[in-house]
């Protein structure tokens, strides 16, 4: 069963995904869970944020392994998904940022981005184990002033729609509270 967990900044979405992993691990000693982290430490504050998340995650879910995968997310899902392994992807927003608004190097063009989205959805459909995906819901406010900002919001919204179609469950986090959007 795949789930998409959406929410604003500090809404509790990562903690919710970690709880899904902890619950999964508690059901059987034969089960595994792995976090696929998409963040890149572009500046000192982001390095500190990532380090803080790592410490907090290790305390909350000590058996949750971590892989750093900032770009090759579809390939990672294909490689690491297994019937007894739950994957947590945290987060789609940063994955999109790395591909469409990279700190260095060229950005993916529209056609390449659409192909990458399709590859992600194909990998999700083919995943033999459960996948929990985390992403920021950023389209509830005003439209950004820049064309680049509007394009990013549009790209993320389209990604959410495509991923939500593949997922059995979609949850919106608001102030640490789960709001079911889609359930089996």
2 catalytic residue (yes or no): no
Structure tokens at 114: 């659409």
Catalytic pick from 12, 22, 53, 60?
53
Residues 2-18 as b/e (b if ≥16 CB within 10 A, e otherwise) read bbbbbbbeebbbbbbbb
DSSP string, the chain: --EEEEE-TTSSHHHHHHHHHHHHHHT-TT-EEEEEE-----SHHHHHHHHHHHHHHHHH-TTEEEEE-SS-HHHHHHHH-BTTEEEEEE-HHHHHHHHHS-SSSPPP-HHHHHHHHHHHHHHHHH-SS-EEEEEE--TTSPPPSSHHHHHHHHHHHHHHHHHHHH-SEEEEEETTEEEEEE--
118: Cβ–Cβ under 8 A, 6 or more apart, which residues? 162
- Could you list the active site residues? 53
């Amino acid at each position: 069963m795949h789930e998409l967990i959406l929410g604003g900044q500090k809404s509790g979405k990562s903690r919710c995904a970690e709880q899904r992993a902890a619950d999964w691990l508690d059901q059987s000693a034969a089960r595994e869970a792995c976090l696929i982290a998409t963040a890149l430490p572009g500046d000192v504050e982001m390095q500190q944020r990532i380090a803080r998340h790592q410490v907090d995650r290790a305390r909350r879910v000590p058996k949750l392994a971590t892989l750093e995968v900032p770009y090759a997310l579809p390939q990672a899902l294909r490689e690491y998904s297994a019937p007894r392994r739950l994957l947590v992807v945290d987060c789609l927003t940063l994955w999109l940022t790395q591909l469409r608004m990279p700190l260095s190097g060229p950005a993916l063009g529209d056609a390449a981005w659409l192909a990458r989205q399709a590859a992600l959805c194909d990998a999700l459909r083919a995943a033999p184990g459960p996948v929990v995906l985390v992403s920021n819901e950023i389209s509830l406010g005003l439209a950004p002033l820049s064309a680049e900002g509007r394009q990013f919001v549009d790209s993320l919204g389209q990604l959410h729609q495509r991923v939500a179609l593949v997922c059995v469950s979609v949850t919106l986090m608001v102030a640490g509270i789960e709001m079911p959007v889609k359930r089996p």
